[in-house]
């Protein structure tokens, strides 16, 4: 039986998607050729790329609104520098809400002045900063919607008079937002969309072409837009699997429908963390808790061995917390079924009975 995979990333994908992906590796589209041995310029693969881009925009309600979807390589980490390379002329604002935010700030500092407008670093990122004011005249404001490592998630996004850029790597397609607020959204595929190897970038074209520096072709969003993500050979397999996941999401009823299930999963797990005296949540304020990554610890570390053994026995995988937080992290992305969350909750309750 397949394990209950709570891994933070690369992470769980729908079983039906994995099956179709496996079939396409052997024989794609009845061609008697593998998906990964045909030209990326064949009409069959061009159709995959176009469909993946179309579905990404459709799920976010961004079709025909001046946005383009790109599937590039280099991970979300490459976007930390590409964003600055393409958009930073003098000064940009950043919200520092976790390790990934901090990394994006480090890269952007190579290209201009960075104003860290708010930070929760002093409390080991256990909350989302609030009550800050954003100065005017920034080239852009960058934020991270979900802090994968610490288990916090932004619910309110600031009103700004500059482009709003968001790293949505670990919660894209998990909830409904007014995505038209954002001018550039990026997400590494491997958290909620597909295998590692491709990054989705959704960009409002009008924000480009405003910096004075010369941009190398591979780092230039305009080049990738003009070549429809095929300036160089795209990551054909990750793009294909992402397309399958986006089709799967459509079959589930889209982002609004999956959000309802995601809310149920998060409620189930956080209720148990709050109820069960053996556990405590890591995040300071309930309203900042992530619905994708739930971080928690044991009140009494001596129970760790028993709990870990019980989890293993129940087929639970990937529950270890990140080394900078410790304890446990249950990643409950779109493809994680409610039943698997119930299995974890059952184990937590069994531990309480035993202890």
Ligand X SMILES: *Cc1c(COP(=O)(O)O)cnc(C)c1O
Tokens of 334: 């779109």
Q: Is 153 in the site for ligand X (CB under 6 A)?
A: no
- CB nearer to ligand X: give 191 or 329: 191
Instruction: Tell me the C-alpha distance between 220 and 214, whole Å.
Output: 9
Q: Is 67 in the site for ligand X (CB under 6 A)?
A: no
Q: Is 188 in the site for ligand X (CB under 6 A)?
A: yes
Query: Residue 199 in 3-state DSSP?
Result: strand
- CB nearer to ligand X: give 142 or 191: 191
Helix axis angle, 75-87 relative to 99-108, nearest 10°? 40
Select from 253, 250, 237 the least CA-distant residue to 49.
Answer: 237
Number of H helices, E strands in the chain: 9, 14
Contact residue for ligand X among 3, 20, 61, 75 (CB under 6 A)? 75
Query: Residue 5 in 3-state DSSP?
Result: strand
Q: Which stretch binds ligand X (CB under 6 A): 75-83, 128-136, 249-257, 320-328?
A: 75-83
Contact residue for ligand X among 28, 67, 100, 237 (CB under 6 A)? 100
Q: Is 144 in the site for ligand X (CB under 6 A)?
A: yes
What is the maximum span of the chain, computed from C-alpha positions, in angstroms? 65
In the sheet where 279-281 sits, what is the strand order? 279-281, 293-298, 328-331
φ and ψ at 218, to 5 degrees?
Answer: -65, -20
- CB nearer to ligand X: give 47 or 110: 110
φ and ψ at 98, to 5 degrees?
Answer: 170, -175
For residues 204 to 233, the per-residue mask of contacts with ligand X, x marking binding by CB under 6 A and - elsewhere, is ------------------------------
Q: Which stretch binds ligand X (CB under 6 A): 74-82, 87-95, 151-159, 344-352?
A: 74-82
Contact residue for ligand X among 127, 169, 245, 262 (CB under 6 A)? 169
Report, as residue numbers or ranges, the catalytic residues. Answer: 100, 167, 191
The minimum distance between CB 205 and ligand X, in angstroms, equals 23
Tokens of 305: 């061995």
Q: Is 192 in the site for ligand X (CB under 6 A)?
A: no
Contact 134, 141 (CB under 8 A): yes
Contact residue for ligand X among 96, 139, 167, 259 (CB under 6 A)? 167
Phi and psi based region of residue 165 (left: phi greater than 0; alpha: psi -120 to 50; beta: remaining): beta
Binding residues for ligand X, rule CB under 6 A, total 12
Q: Within a 10 A sphere around the Cβ of 318, how many other Cβ atoms?
A: 18
- CB nearer to ligand X: give 56 or 348: 56
Q: Is 170 in the site for ligand X (CB under 6 A)?
A: yes
Instruction: Tell me the C-alpha distance between 230 and 199, whole Å.
Output: 13
For residues 285 to 324, the per-residue mask of contacts with ligand X, x marking binding by CB under 6 A and - elsewhere, is ----------------------------------------
Contact residue for ligand X among 127, 148, 245, 331 (CB under 6 A)? 148
What is the contact surface with ligand X in residues (CB under 6 A)? 9, 75-77, 100, 144, 148, 167, 169-170, 188, 191
């Amino acid at each position: 039986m397949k394990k209950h995979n709570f891994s933070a990333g690369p992470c769980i994908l729908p079983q039906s998607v994995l099956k179709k992906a496996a079939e396409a590796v052997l024989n794609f589209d009845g061609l008697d050729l593998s998906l990964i041995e045909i030209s990326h310029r064949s009409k069959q693969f061009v159709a995959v790329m176009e469909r993946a881009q179309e579905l990404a925009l459709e799920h976010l309600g961004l079709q025909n609104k001046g946005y383009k979807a790109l599937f590039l390589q280099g991970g979300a980490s490459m976007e930390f520098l590409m964003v600055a390379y393409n958009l930073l002329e003098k000064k940009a604002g950043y919200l520092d809400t976790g390790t990934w935010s901090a990394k994006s700030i480090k890269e952007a500092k190579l290209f201009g002045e960075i104003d860290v407008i708010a930070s929760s670093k002093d409390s080991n990122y256990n909350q989302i900063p609030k009550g800050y004011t954003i100065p005017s005249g920034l080239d852009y404001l960058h934020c991270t919607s979900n802090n994968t490592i610490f288990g916090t998630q932004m619910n309110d996004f600031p009103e700004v008079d500059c482009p709003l850029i968001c790293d949505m790597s670990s919660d894209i397609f998990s909830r409904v937002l007014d995505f038209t607020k954002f001018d550039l959204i990026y997400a590494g595929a491997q958290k909620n969309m597909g295998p590692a190897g491709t990054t989705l970038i959704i960009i409002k074209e009008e924000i480009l072409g405003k910096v004075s520096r010369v941009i190398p072709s591979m780092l230039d969003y305009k080049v990738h837009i003009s070549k429809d993500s095929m300036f160089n050979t795209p990551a054909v397999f990750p793009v294909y699997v992402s397309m399958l996941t986006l089709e799967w999401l459509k079959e589930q009823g889209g982002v609004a429908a999956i959000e309802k299930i995601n809310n149920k999963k998060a409620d189930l797990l956080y209720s148990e963390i709050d109820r069960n005296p053996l556990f405590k949540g890591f995040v300071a304020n309930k309203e900042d808790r992530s619905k994708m990554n739930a971080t928690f610890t044991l009140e009494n570390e001596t129970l760790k061995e028993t709990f870990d053994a019980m989890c293993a026995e129940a087929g639970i995988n990937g529950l270890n917390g990140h080394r900078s937080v410790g304890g446990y992290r249950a990643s409950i992305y779109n493809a994680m079924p409610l039943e698997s969350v119930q299995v974890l909750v059952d184990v937590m309750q069994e531990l309480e009975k035993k202890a």
